[in-house]
Chain A
Amino acid sequence: MRGKSQRKVYLDHSASTPVDERVLDAMMPWFTRNYGNASSLHGPGRRAAQAIEDARETVARTLGCQPNEIVFNSGGTEGDNHAIRGGARTMRQAGQGAHLVSSPVEHSAVGETLAQLADLQGFTHTLMPVDRYGRVSAEAFRAACRDDTVLASVMLANNEVGSLQPVAELARFARERGILFHTDAVQAAGQLSLNVADLGVDLLGISGHKFYGPKGVGALYCRNGIALASNQTGGSHEEGRRAGTHNTPLIVGLARALELAGQEREQNVAHFRRMRDQLIDQVLLRVPDAELSGHPVERLPGHASLVLDGVDSSALLMHLDINGVAASGGSACKTGNPEPSAVLLAMGYSKRQAMGGLRLTVGHSTSEKDIDYAVDVIANSVEKLRRLAVVA
């Protein structure tokens, strides 16, 4: 396993994916040849503006909405911030109230935003309980909503454990009650069909680099009729909803990547499922006291997550990395911070178990040989670490 000839296996596609060559090809002309500012009235500017409007139509078509319902931004975190802050502020100004509802397993871009709105801006929020798979229920949602609830935010698929939330059901109830419903679809994009009409949500965010597009670009769906206050003020870009010069190549890349993901979804998902199931089956077979975390069926097709009792996940990730396997503990943002996973704790795991989360997420290029090699490395490493833990 040592040396330069060592196999490299990337099983962290939920953290980021490579840019698809076809996406890169679509982006390249907009860096060097067509560099005009999309807000300028001259020819180069108009060409950039046209490319952005084409991209907007592509994204809208894939999500099943109108082009003017798409706001381009810098990625998932900005989308979450814009949707929640903007939505909450608009609703409060309209006198609807100041109560927010969410779950304890959201990405920190949602969780920290809610916490700050509560700390500094006079909002209150309720976090619904989740079951052992990290899923919220319609009953819990109904119980959490109050007369003064103005916005709810529940992710479509969990980044750490891959479980899918019953978003359509929750959004239907929210719509009846006049509550804005936001979903962070960052992990779901590229793997699930994202039709906003079917989902019935008001706000939905995606990020380019999770589906073979570039980093640093995202899109927020904002249903027509919602006057979302802007977070970032300045020029009148994006119909006044998001100021700042358009990043033409990234926006073109995001649209192309989303288009490809939509067109090729069936075969991609079939491959993801096959690889993921092999990975889960083999790890459960080879590693004693390993447990699948998250829902066994209602989960992302490319997402395997495990709890390895008695193993410190940061030490395990080190062993994996040294042997050429890239994976992550809970979410990538938590690396180097040896605290138990808040998501696993919320799901009812013990503190000890919540230190041992492992996330393995497959991609287009993942092969059976990759899976075999990774499982070997995981099994060996876990055994070594458990032996060390006994001595200490």
Chain B
Amino acid sequence: MSARVVVAMSGGVDSSVAAALLKQQGHDVIGMMMRLWAEPSTDGQVHNRCCTPGQMADAQRIANMLDIPFYVLDTREVFRRKIVDFFVQGHRRGVTPNPCLECNRHIRFDWLQRHALALDADYLATGHHARICCDQDGNYRLLRAVDLQKDQSYVLSVMGQQQLAHAKFPVGNYHKSRIREMAREFGLPTAAKQDSQDLCFLGDGDYRRFLRENVPDLPVAGPIMRRDGTHLGQHSGLANYTIGQRRGLGINTTAPMYVGDIQPAKNALIVAERKEQGTQRLEAGRFNWVAGSPPDNDFLAAVSVRYGAVPQPATITPLGPSAVGIEFEQSQVGVAPGQAAVIFAEHECLGGGVIRLTE
């Protein structure tokens, strides 16, 4: 059955192939690109890395080849308000936010999807590597991509039933190598292009520089300590560190030290040896259940605490409608407040939430 589908195009290979596949299936396809907020530059050279004039021209060219209309939507204001400000606020509080996840929550599968549906579209399609299926009871389920290496269900864990009912991920059924092959078969000029970047709104991808230049009131230097309070040196501002980081600490110890905890209340950076590292238990808030509501009881599942991390076995305890407690079977390293904890049952993504500060 032919439907009207808006495809969010970036000029990259995945969204281009998504558009081509939908067109081939006989849908009424409309290409769309969001012009996102980009860091203002003094030299006029640095641009948002995923909607540069070059990327726009690429997406436009592909749309022309596919004979589909293509439009650029001005998303700068809402993106700055919901994503960039959120990113800055997070770092102010000493957490490491995941803007891609928030962008899917507030921009792609809210703002953009509503714009698509207002155009009488039935679906918003993207080039994400994930799958959607509708079970016998009419519930939409979010599944991991066929190519697990490229799976992006982690950043899509913010989607609910309404979003999934009107979404399509045409490339999630294929391995990346097959996507590139298809791009060549369709004659798309993006076949050899690189994958898109995270933190697209930073001119150079360096968020520490961005924070330094744009958030002058970020907390400043403070102590680097061990858990027992032993003073080891000075840090240059908590926003410059991520949990699990080893390099650039500037301290002299016999055993290698890793960032184990960030404590904004004390402006302290806690370091630990690898063997002391680890989180057995965590809580995640702002939790989204893909099914719409949490299961009644505790259950066993696998949890991923970073984009790209292999899900680890854990016991999940729902804490009301939008929070969970997670108890890992084995202690996990690199658990960073602000990042998402995403729950998987086999190949299905059940939902995700934001890891809370534990102090």
Contacts and interface: CB of A to CB of B under 8 A. Distances in A.
A358 to B, nearest CB: 16
A314 B74 contact: yes
A391 B119 contact: no
Interface stretch (B110-118, B144-152, B289-297): B110-118
Contact of A312 (B74, B118, B119, B120): B74
Interface in B65-81: 69, 71-74, 76, 78
A238 interface: no
A5 to B, nearest CB: 13
Contacts of B56: 336
A385 B118 CA distance: 8
A391 B111 CA distance: 9
Contact of A388 (B74, B114, B120): B114
Contacts of A391: 114
B17 to A, nearest CB: 23
A336 B53 CA distance: 10
A391 B56 CA distance: 27
B73 A315 contact: yes
B35 A315 contact: no
Contacts of B71: 314, 318, 321
B4 interface: yes
Interface string A305-337: 000000010110011011000000000000010
A318 B115 CA distance: 11
Contacts of A338: 35, 72, 74, 76
Contacts of A322: 30, 69, 119-120
B120 to A, nearest CB: 7
A314 B69 contact: no
A187 B97 CA distance: 53
A333 B153 CA distance: 40
Interface residues of B, dominant DSSP = mixed
Interface in A342-392: 384-385, 387-388, 391-392
B115 to A, nearest CB: 6
Nearest to B106: A392
Range of interface residues on A (Cβ < 8 Å):
10 to 19
A384 B118 contact: yes
A1 B35 CA distance: 28
A338 B35 CA distance: 9
Contact of A318 (B76, B119, B120): B119
Contacts of B348: none
Contacts of A336: 56, 72
B210 to A, nearest CB: 24
A391 B71 CA distance: 21
B50 to A, nearest CB: 17
B119 A319 contact: yes
Interface in B22-81: 28, 30, 35, 56, 69, 71-74, 76, 78
B111 A392 contact: yes
A42 interface: no
B255 to A, nearest CB: 51
B73 A314 contact: yes
B4 A2 contact: yes
A388 B72 contact: no
A299 B72 CA distance: 31
B181 to A, nearest CB: 32
A388 B118 CA distance: 8
Interface string A2-41: 1000000000000000000000000000000000000000
Interface in A278-296: none
Contact of A392 (B28, B35, B76, B78): B78
Contacts of B73: 314-315, 318
A315 B115 contact: yes
A336 B35 CA distance: 10
A315 B115 CA distance: 9
Contacts of A312: 74
Across the A-B interface, give the 9 residue pairs with the lowest CB-CB distance, nearest first.
Answer: A338-B74, A318-B71, A384-B118, A336-B72, A322-B119, A392-B78, A388-B118, A388-B114, A392-B111
Given A318-B69, A336-B56, 20 more contacts: A2-B28, A2-B120, A312-B74, A314-B73, A314-B74, A315-B73, A315-B115, A318-B73, A318-B119, A319-B119, A321-B69, A336-B72, A338-B35, A338-B72, A338-B76, A387-B118, A388-B114, A388-B115, A391-B114, A392-B78
5 contacts: A318-B69, A319-B119, A384-B118, A385-B118, A391-B114
